[in-house]
Structure 1
Amino acid sequence: MTALSADCGPVSGPQSAVPLLAADVVGRRREIELLLAGLDCGAHVVLEGPPGTGKTTLLRAVAEAGGSPFVFVEGNAELTPARLVGQFDPSRVLAEGYVPETFVDGPLIEALRTGGLLYVEEVNRIPEETLNVLITVMSEAELHVPRLGRVRAADGFRLVAAMNPFDAVGTARISSAIYDRVCRIVMGYQSQAEESDIVARRGPSVPAEWRDQVVDLVRRTREHADVRVGSSVRGAIDVVRLAVSLARIRGGSATDWRIGHDAAMAALSGRIGLHESSGRTTESVIDELYVAVFGTESPPEDSESGDPPGEA
């Protein structure tokens, strides 16, 4: 893999790309170094971590820095071997027969031919028969397609897969045959300061102290006793975005208690999952955490006295 300098010229090695990538991908220098090293030495890689930890962002940045073709595949139960590999166009086969020109490349063949990075998202949602195709490619660096023949991997081809180890719905256990052929990079959540930096980069401008409180709120969803799965930093970004837009509609400020509370409810209630035994609602948990971070709502200034202004 050839790294690029800031002016897109080639540099001596992947180590030269680390500072540039670290500036674009917040809080991931170690993971950048490991991914670059893995790709540079010819290894295939699994990025393992919860949603919102920057797995796709990291790989896209690495692919762009190295000038590598990037082929994205969404992993799900409908990803059959034919959809991954490709297939002959039936209408053209009737007229021209089974010739290479009538074959429509799938993402795997595209990546093999171009020497690109094949990024398979949610690899643990893929059917076993499709995973077996990937195992063959990782082992042999080639694939035999009936009636098409052998397709060898061009220089630079790498498989990078991503998975959320905490998602148990609609997923399958990754076999040892996969792990035996990849390097595994675990990506946890960034620090609070780094997540606040991400929100500042991707969200609208708001007071830094309030933004830090929003990030604190979201991080607390990951530690609450009733919560099975907490929100990623995407939740914090959406809270800020919603609060700014809601303030514009209501003619208030994004930092107003009620505006922030409503924005948090909308942005986070669908992002957290509770333990089945908790007996609570997501709204009650968010309300509890919001009060813990922002305090209780202050009463309106003119509600302390029932007398009209200026009268005793």
Structure 2
Amino acid sequence: MSTGSSNGRAGTGRAPVPAPAHPSLRSVRDRVATQIVGRERELDLVLAAVAAGRDLVLEGPPGTSKTTMLKAITAQWGIPLLFVEGNADLTPAKIVGHHNPARVLREDYSADTFVPGPLVQAMRDGGFLYIEEFNRAPEDTLNTLLTAIADRTIAVPRVGTIDAAPTFRVIASMNPFDNVGTTRLSTSVHDRLCRLSIDYQDESAERAVVALRAPDLPDGLAGRLVPDAVAVTRATREHPDVRQGSSVRGAIDTALVAAELADLRGIAAADDERYPATVLDAMIVALSGRIHLDEAAETTPEQVLTEIFQDRFLLTGADRPG
């Protein structure tokens, strides 16, 4: 990777991550890969894009390792990761920064009275600005971001010009399943961002994720509880009445809650006849708030989850070991 200036301007000459300041891309990839499961291709693509000096939009549902990857990458590079939630209240002033009113009254406007927002902070520190729900941000805020993306610099009134450090990147995320309160991004926005679609992992990878995030499940339950939690969670994404199902986080919570319920009820093994009902109770707690029903559906989250439970444990006979 080549070293670039601290003020890569518009065009294709954006400075990649300077080699002397950071480990090699392969070593970063190898270290980050130990912290995530089943995302080798996506990790390679994200690393390649940001190392090439590109800004990036990650398009995919929640719970698909986007944040985990970015946290691990920035930790390896030793740079900050700043989070911003895109919504109608995200004004340019909130993302750029503002002058402290109390200090302005005492001292008048100056660079010293300016409180940097996440964009300015990320530019100065060479961090990643991670904007979740990017397509919910107002148009004037997106325009402010486009200036920083295209020019690697912004002008702040009464402060001056802020030049981005070489490692500054804008990383945006969008949920393709959510179109309520969102806006269609303009061609100029799409033209300045690379894009990567990240979908749910396969079943074996999600089982590995649950096993990793819930390592202390009782020995007598873990062998069945992990695959059961993953199976019912994945089924929420395919139910006809569900617009958006749960991510693997729902499977993690289902397994954890079920294990605690089993302890309360004195269930030590998965062949206990009370095990299926315990999983159903855990599903209601862990998944009912994570699934979003179709607007035309005449049902409830609890009814949907009960159907999924019955299909898993009653109709297919999956309540039997193995």
Return the TM-score normalized by structure 1: 0.88
Quote how far apart the aligned CAs of 1:93 are: 1.3
**How has the CA–CA distance of structure 1 residues 2 and 155 changed in structure 2, closer, same or farther, with 3 Å as cutoff?**
closer
| 8 Å Cα contact 1:124/1:174 also seen in 2 | yes
Alignment of 1:62-141 (within 5 A): 62-141=73-152
**What amino acid maps onto 1:200 in structure 2?**
A
Quote how far apart the aligned CAs of 1:254 are: 7.5
Quote how far apart the aligned CAs of 1:137 are: 0.7
* 2:312 is aligned with 1:293: yes
Give 3-state SS (helix, strand or coil) of 1:207's partner. helix
**What amino acid maps onto 1:270 in structure 2?**
G
Distance 1:238 1:167 in 2: 23
Alignment of 1:124-273 (within 5 A): 124-203=135-214, 204-205=216-217, 206-253=221-268, 255=270, 256-273=275-292
**What amino acid maps onto 2:158 in structure 1?**
R
Distance 1:231 1:254 in 2: 27
| Corresponding residue for residue 59 of structure 1 | 70
* 2:296 is aligned with 1:277: yes
1:50-70 Cα offsets, whole Å, 9 max, x none, are: 011111111111111111222
| 8 Å Cα contact 1:111/1:118 also seen in 2 | yes
| 8 Å Cα contact 2:177/2:243 also seen in 1 | no
Quote how far apart the aligned CAs of 1:285 are: 1.7
Give 3-state SS (helix, strand or coil) of 2:34's partner. helix
Quote how far apart the aligned CAs of 1:128 are: 1.2
1:161-182 Cα offsets, whole Å, 9 max, x none, are: 1111111122212222111101
Quote how far apart the aligned CAs of 1:154 are: 1.4
Distance 1:120 1:237 in 2: 25
**How has the CA–CA distance of structure 1 residues 214 and 128 changed in structure 2, closer, same or farther, with 3 Å as cutoff?**
same
Distance 2:123 2:301 in 1: 45
1:4-39 Cα offsets, whole Å, 9 max, x none, are: 9xxxx953x212222221221111111111111111
**How has the CA–CA distance of structure 1 residues 2 and 218 changed in structure 2, closer, same or farther, with 3 Å as cutoff?**
farther
| 8 Å Cα contact 2:18/2:166 also seen in 1 | no
**What amino acid maps onto 2:95 in structure 1?**
L
Quote how far apart the aligned CAs of 1:92 are: 0.9
Structure 2 residue runs without a partner (length 5+): 1-16, 318-322
Give 3-state SS (helix, strand or coil) of 1:216's partner. helix
| 8 Å Cα contact 2:225/2:255 also seen in 1 | no
| 8 Å Cα contact 1:243/1:254 also seen in 2 | no
Quote how far apart the aligned CAs of 1:253 are: 4.2
| Corresponding residue for residue 45 of structure 2 | 34
Distance 1:136 1:276 in 2: 38
| 8 Å Cα contact 2:133/2:173 also seen in 1 | yes
- Corresponding residue pairs, total: 292
RMSD: 1.9
Distance 2:281 2:268 in 1: 13
* 2:46 is aligned with 1:46: no
| 8 Å Cα contact 1:222/1:230 also seen in 2 | yes
**How has the CA–CA distance of structure 1 residues 261 and 98 changed in structure 2, closer, same or farther, with 3 Å as cutoff?**
same
Distance 1:254 1:147 in 2: 67
1:50-102 Cα offsets, whole Å, 9 max, x none, are: 01111111111111111122222122221111110001111111222221111
Q: After the TM superposition, which parts of structure 1 deviate over 6 Å for at least 4 consecutive aligned residues?
A: none
Deviation larger for 14-23 or 40-49: 14-23
Quote how far apart the aligned CAs of 1:248 are: 2.3
Deviation larger for 221-230 or 271-280: 271-280
Quote how far apart the aligned CAs of 1:224 are: 1.6
Quote how far apart the aligned CAs of 1:194 are: 0.7
* 2:32 is aligned with 1:21: yes
Structure 1 residue runs without a partner (length 5+): 299-312
| 8 Å Cα contact 1:47/1:184 also seen in 2 | yes
Radius of gyration: which is bigger?
1
| 8 Å Cα contact 1:72/1:120 also seen in 2 | yes
Percentage identity across paired residues of the two chains: 47
Distance 2:244 2:22 in 1: 43
**What amino acid maps onto 1:227 in structure 2?**
V
Deviation larger for 183-192 or 94-103: 94-103
